[in-house]
Each structure stands twice: as C-alpha cells, then as structure tokens.
C-alpha cells in the first residue's frame, strides 16, 4: 500500500478509476434501476406505462403495484421462491459437507503436490459447464455409469424413500438429479475459498493446542474450523446466491416438482411477454438474496483487511 | 501410528472420490462421442460418425464461430477493464464512491444470471427505442459477457497486484525510471501471468454462457451454447458429445500451454531473484 500514488498524474488517476466506474454504472447500476422502475409499471399494449405523465398541465406520478400484489397473493410464486431457497440451501450445505474435508486434505497434503491437486479442481471448471451438466443426463440413465451402480446397490430405494426421486426406477428429472447437478457445478466455488483459508493457516496453533492436551478432534473443531470461518462464509454464499436464481441446471436435470424462480422469471419474460411481472420477480429475488449478499460483501472486506 | 495410517487412507479415498465425481461427466462425454450407436449412452463400437456429422452441421459450426469471436472480444476487453478496475482498487485506497465501485465490481460474480440478463436487456431495449441502436445481436451478447468477465478478471488481477512486492516498483523509481517505464518494465511483466489467466478464464466463461446470451441474442446470432442447450433440452444427442469433446480438447490445450508458460516464467523469476540475492 506504500506505492507513491503521487507519481501518477491526477488525469491518469481520473481515467483509471473513471472508465470502469462509468462503464459499470451504465451497464450494471442503471439497468437495475430500470428493472425497479419497470416492476412498478404495467404493460400497455407493447409499451410500458410511464411513471410520470404530463396531462392537463399537471404532472402525475403513477405507480402500479399490480405485479407485486400478484406476487404476494398467488401461492405459486411464494411456493417457487421457497423451493428455490430450499434447493440453494441444500446445495450449499452438501457442497460444504463434501468440500470441507476435501479442501482440508488438499491443504494438508505435501506442498509440492498442492498445485497439481488444485489444478485438478480447476480443470473441470475450465470445461464447459453446460456440457458437464448435460453429461449427467446420460450418467443417471438406468444403464448409465452412475445410474447402474445406484440401481444395483439398491440406493434407488433409499432415494425413493427419502422422496428425492419419484420412484426407484427413475433417477432423472427429480430433486435428486437436480441436486447432483447443482452440487457438481458449484463444488469448486466452495472448495477454492476453503482451500485458500486452510492453506494459509498457521499450523503451529494446532501444535500448541495439542501440546496443551487437546485431542486432534478437539484441535480441529476448536482451532481449525473457527479459523477457516471466512472461507466457509465465502464458499457458502458463492454457492447459495447463484443457486437461488439458477436456470440451466433445473431446466436440464430438474423435474416437475423442482420449478425454481429463475424459470418463472424466464417464462414471464419470454412466454408471457410480461415485462413488469418479470421485473417484479427479479426485484423480489434480489430482496431474497440481499442479506446473503451483504454477509458475503462484509466477509470479503474483512478478509481483505486481515490479509 | 495405526490411526494416522487409517486417517491417511481415508483422506486419500475421499479425495479420490471427489476427483472421480468431478471428472466422470467429462470422461463419459468423450467416451460416448466415439460410439457407433445413435443412443449416446450405449456403446455400439468405435466410430467417428458423430465427428463426420459435425462437419456438415451448419448450426453448430456457425454457433462455434460466433462464440469464438464473442469470446475473444470479451476476454480482451475484460482484461483491459478488469486491469483498470483492479488498479483503481489497489492503488487508490480512497476515492469518491469506492464502496459502491467495489460492490459493483464483484456483484456480477454471485448475481444470478437471469437478473443480470433481464436488467441488461430491458436497458438495451429502452435505449433502442430512444436512439434506434443497438440492434440485438453479437454486440449486445458481447456487452453482457463483458460485464460478467470484467468481474472475474478484476478478482484475478487484483489478487495478483496484492501479492506484488511494492518495493520493486519503488526501487525502479529510485533508479530513475519514469512512471510509464515502471509500469511497462516492472508492473506489467510481473502481472503478465495474471493477465493471461484472466484472459483465459473470461474466454471460457463467454464460450460457456447460456442465460445472458439467450436474453441478449437476436435473430441470426445463435451462439454455440444456445445451440447445445436447445438440443440438450430435447434429450440426449451424440452430436453434442462430439462437439463437447472438441471443446474439451481446445480448452485443455489452451490451459496446458498457459500453465506451461506461467510455470516457465515463475522459474525464470525465481532464478533472477536468487541471482539478485547473491549480489547483496
């Protein structure tokens, strides 16, 4: 932080900050305000009702809350938000359960192997996400590489009993296939921040705890886990937030009972051509994720200061 | 001793299972692209028929070409804008609206695609009604991808800038280098690998995007993921496996070359550092 910024001319400073700032304001902030504005309008033929009208020398300000009223009163919307949050929570928890031990073992393996192990997590991430999700369609078929062992081992009956698949014969187009696809896609987003915090940890703290008589298990829960908190929070939010609005994975792998809010927004816009309704769905979706977003932002800022 | 051994075996097994989970879909895509059967998860003997079919598949070919063009433009612009944003965050700890700025930079990373796509589209449509431009097509898809790519590029480049040793830049200045010389001779070479990584990452992101492209595309601008998505929705399709294998191949070659270059540069830098230390 001790870079002498005085040597950079003020004009340069204005350009370095100004160009990306202006660009983001124009293409990120402004569109959001527009969504908010359109959510407060109604379709008037192919047009959207204006907020401000000048008629008979009087400026009138008219807000239409019809879209929000419909959102609040139609149970379908509420249920869909609930389903989206539920699957996002389950996905993030499953990613944590699978990813934490994995990141931990990775961070504690020999130093010289770690770049290769990390590369192994990044590589699938570099290959098309769409194609990898599509691949699960064939893997989960009754004769697929994953479907066949599940049927052979009788896991299908357990899944049916848990209500994750409609019947033991069918694994695809169910909550199970949806969750497999989401955990699969978002696992690297959990592993990478966890690995980052776990590999930076001062291992002498564990030694100290053990010298003071802690069992490895106690040392893990009372030293390692609390110290990796920022990684856990970052990973959880990086998985949870985009999952709420996920569209492609439910569309390819989900079934009738996994209708999520991303699909509803999509249909309002593309099928019903109802822009105010689509915007209202988006505004409420932002309200759902704004608290997790704020937690994520604060966590990142704190981690930035700590490093 | 035996518990240590047991836990080591357990940890190896866990890692193995997770890697299998991560790589299984890619392996199955590649394997079944060579099947002779019309059902893509039944092995019907080895054949290249689906690759031959690719050569006459104009939808896929045109989609691939358009996607490669958009991805190249996206990655290049994202690295430029991302560098500027990262430099702002790194160099200027205080400026008006910095909190808003850093929020806007990282928000597209987590924001659901449907929201970003919808808001950008509504804005572009309003603009079109006012000014008559832009027409929906390649340029509007590029804009959407750039928004997302810039966020990723900023994170990658910012992380690298934070790791840099500021004393190196100061030393160059003390030795009489002008600010632009410091930038081109010291800062840029030291961040080159992050710039390359950011370029590749945003390139693949753009090559992969479905949702933003669906919102922002117009007639005649169907990108490769849109073609694949519409086929995948209908069911399994062996031509998708073949194009997947081609994409996997392109990406693996790119990543291999990049990591080789980065490793070589890292080694050279380490050697130079060691040599410099000896003179002290």
Per-residue pLDDT tens digits for B181-209: 888 888 888 888 889 889 988 998 898 89
pLDDT over 70 percentage in chain B? 98
Distance CA B94, CA B99 (A): 9
- What's the domain count of chain A? 2
Asked if the Cβ–Cβ distance from A238 to B109 is below 8 Å, we say yes
What is the mean pLDDT of the segment spanning A199-211? 87
A254 and A163 part of one domain: yes
Among A138, A190, A290, A302, most B C-beta atoms within 10 A, so best to mutate, is: A138
Element (DSSP H or E) covering residue B253: helix B238-279
All residues of chain A having their beta carbon less than 8 Å from the beta carbon of residue B228 are: 130-131, 134
For each of the domains in chain B, give its residue range(s) and CATH number, in order of start: 73-219 (1.10.3720.10)
Phi-psi region of A173 (alpha: psi -120 to 50; beta: other; left: phi over 0): left
Which tokens in the block code for residue B129? 């009604």
A22 and A159 part of one domain: no
Residue A17 forms contact with B (CB below 8 Å)? yes
A23 and A79 part of one domain: no
Residue A129 forms contact with B (CB below 8 Å)? yes
Per-residue pLDDT tens digits for B60-81: 889 989 999 999 999 999 999 9
Per-residue pLDDT tens digits for A169-181: 888 899 999 999 9
Asked if the Cβ–Cβ distance from A7 to B23 is below 8 Å, we say no
Burial A36-55 (b: 16+ CB within 10 A, else e): ebbbbbbbeeeebbeeeeee
- Average predicted confidence (pLDDT) for chain A: 87
Whether residue A156 is contained in a domain is answered as yes
Asked if the Cβ–Cβ distance from B25 to A245 is below 8 Å, we say no
Asked if the Cβ–Cβ distance from B14 to A247 is below 8 Å, we say no
Residue in chain A nearest B209 by alpha carbon: A130
Residue A209 forms contact with B (CB below 8 Å)? no
Distance CA A120, CA B196 (A): 19
The pLDDT of residue B279: 67
Residue B209 in contact with residue B217, Cβ under 8 Å? no
Distance CA A94, CA B61 (A): 38
What is the mean pLDDT of the segment spanning B111-123? 91
Phi-psi region of A260 (alpha: psi -120 to 50; beta: other; left: phi over 0): beta
Residue B264: count other Cβ atoms within 10 Å of its Cβ: 11
A196 and A264 part of one domain: yes
A229 and A123 part of one domain: yes
Tokens 């070409």 locate to: B65
Which pTM does this prediction carry?
A: 0.87
A189 and A249 part of one domain: yes
Per-residue pLDDT tens digits for B224-280: 999 999 888 887 778 888 888 888 888 788 878 887 887 787 788 778 778 877 765
Residue B253 forms contact with A (CB below 8 Å)? no
Residue A289 forms contact with B (CB below 8 Å)? yes
Asked if the Cβ–Cβ distance from B119 to A238 is below 8 Å, we say no
Distance from CA of A231 to the nearest CA of B (A): 15
Whether residue A68 is contained in a domain is answered as no
For the cut 80, the answer to whether the pLDDT of residue A207 exceeds it is: yes
Whether residue A117 is contained in a domain is answered as yes
The pLDDT of residue A52: 67
The DSSP bridge partners found for residue A54 are A59
Among A193-207, A259-273, B233-247, the least confident range: B233-247
Whether residue A66 is contained in a domain is answered as no
Asked if the Cβ–Cβ distance from B15 to A102 is below 8 Å, we say yes
A123 and A89 part of one domain: yes
Asked if the Cβ–Cβ distance from A105 to B15 is below 8 Å, we say yes
A12 and A152 part of one domain: no
All residues of chain B having their beta carbon less than 8 Å from the beta carbon of residue A67 are: none
A50 and A147 part of one domain: no
A28 and A102 part of one domain: no
A108 and A231 part of one domain: yes
All residues of chain A having their beta carbon less than 8 Å from the beta carbon of residue B145 are: none
Say which CATH number the domain at A149 has.
Answer: 1.10.3720.10
Q: Which long-range contacts (CB under 8 A, 24 or more apart) does A108-111 make?
A: A108/A198, A108/B11
Q: Which domain holds residue A52?
A: 5-61
Residue in chain B nearest A130 by alpha carbon: B208
Closest CA to A228 of A122, A48, A96: A96
The pLDDT of residue A3: 47
Complex ipTM value:
0.85
Asked if the Cβ–Cβ distance from A293 to B110 is below 8 Å, we say yes
A33 and A94 part of one domain: no
Residue in chain A nearest B26 by alpha carbon: A132
Distance CA A210, CA A166 (A): 49
Q: CB-side exposure of B20: number of CA atoms within 13 Å?
A: 9
Name the residue facing A265 among B95, B114, B247 (closest C-beta). Answer: B114
The number of C-beta contacts closer than 8 angstroms across A and B is 231
């Amino acid at each position: 932080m001790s870079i002498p910024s005085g040597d950079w001319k003020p004009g340069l400073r204005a350009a370095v900050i100004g160009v990306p700032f202006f660009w983001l304001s124009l293409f990120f902030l402004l569109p959001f305000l527009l969504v908010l504005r359109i959510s407060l309008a109604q379709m008037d033929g192919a047009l959207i009702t204006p907020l401000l009208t000048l008629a008979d020398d009087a400026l009138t300000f008219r807000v239409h809350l019809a879209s929000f009223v419909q959102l609040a009163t139609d149970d379908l919307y509420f249920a869909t938000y609930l389903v989206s949050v539920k699957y996002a929570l389950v996905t993030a928890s499953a990613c944590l359960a699978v990813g934490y031990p994995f990141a931990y073992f990775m961070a504690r393996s020999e130093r010289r192997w770690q770049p290769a192990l990390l590369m192994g997590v990044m590589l699938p991430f570099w290959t098309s996400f769409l194609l990898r999700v599509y691949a699960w369609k064939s893997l989960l078929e009754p004769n697929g590489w994953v479907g066949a062992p599940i049927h052979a081992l009788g896991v299908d009956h357990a899944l049916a009993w848990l209500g994750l698949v409609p019947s033991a014969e069918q694994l695809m187009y169910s909550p199970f296939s949806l969750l497999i696809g989401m955990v699969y896609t978002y696992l690297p987003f959990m592993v990478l921040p966890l690995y980052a915090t776990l590999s930076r940890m001062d291992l002498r703290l564990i030694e100290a705890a053990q010298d003071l008589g802690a069992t490895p298990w106690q040392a893990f829960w009372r030293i390692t886990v609390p110290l990796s908190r920022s990684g856990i929070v970052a990973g959880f939010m990086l998985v949870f937030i985009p999952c709420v609005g996920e569209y492609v994975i439910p569309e390819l792998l989900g079934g009738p009972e996994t209708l999520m809010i991303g699909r509803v927004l999509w249909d309002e816009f593309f099928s019903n051509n109802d822009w105010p309704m689509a915007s209202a769905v988006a505004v409420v979706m932002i309200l759902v994720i704004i608290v997790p977003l704020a937690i994520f932002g604060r966590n990142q800022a704190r981690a930035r200061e700590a490093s | 001793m035996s518990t240590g051994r047991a836990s080591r075996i357990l940890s190896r097994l866990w890692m193995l299972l997770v890697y299998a989970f991560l790589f299984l879909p890619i392996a199955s895509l590649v394997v079944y692209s060579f099947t002779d059967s019309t059902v893509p998860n039944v092995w019907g003997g080895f054949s290249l028929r689906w690759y031959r079919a690719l050569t006459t598949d104009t939808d896929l070919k045109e989609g691939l070409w358009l996607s490669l063009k958009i991805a190249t433009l996206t990655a290049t612009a994202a690295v430029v804008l991302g560098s500027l944003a990262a430099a702002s965050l790194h160099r200027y700890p205080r400026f008006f609206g910095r909190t808003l700025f850093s929020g806007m930079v990282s928000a597209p990373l987590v924001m659901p695609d449907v929201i970003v796509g919808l808001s950008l589209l509504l804005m572009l449509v309003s603009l079109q009604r006012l000014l008559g431009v832009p027409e929906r097509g390649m340029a509007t898809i590029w804009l959407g991808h750039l928004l997302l790519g810039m966020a990723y590029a900023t994170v990658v480049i910012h992380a690298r800038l934070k790791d840099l040793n500021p004393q190196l830049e100061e030393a160059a200045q003390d030795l009489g280098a002008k600010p632009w010389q410091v930038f081109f001779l010291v800062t840029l070479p030291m961040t080159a690998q992050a710039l390359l990584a950011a370029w590749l990452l945003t390139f693949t992101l753009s090559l992969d995007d479905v949702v933003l492209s669906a919102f922002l595309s117009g007639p005649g601008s169907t990108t490769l993921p849109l073609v694949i998505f519409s086929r995948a929705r209908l069911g399994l399709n062996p031509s998708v496996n073949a194009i997947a294998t081609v994409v996997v191949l392109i990406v693996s070659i790119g990543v291999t070359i990049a990591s080789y270059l980065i490793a070589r540069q890292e080694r050279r830098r380490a050697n130079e550092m060691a040599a410099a230390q000896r003179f002290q």
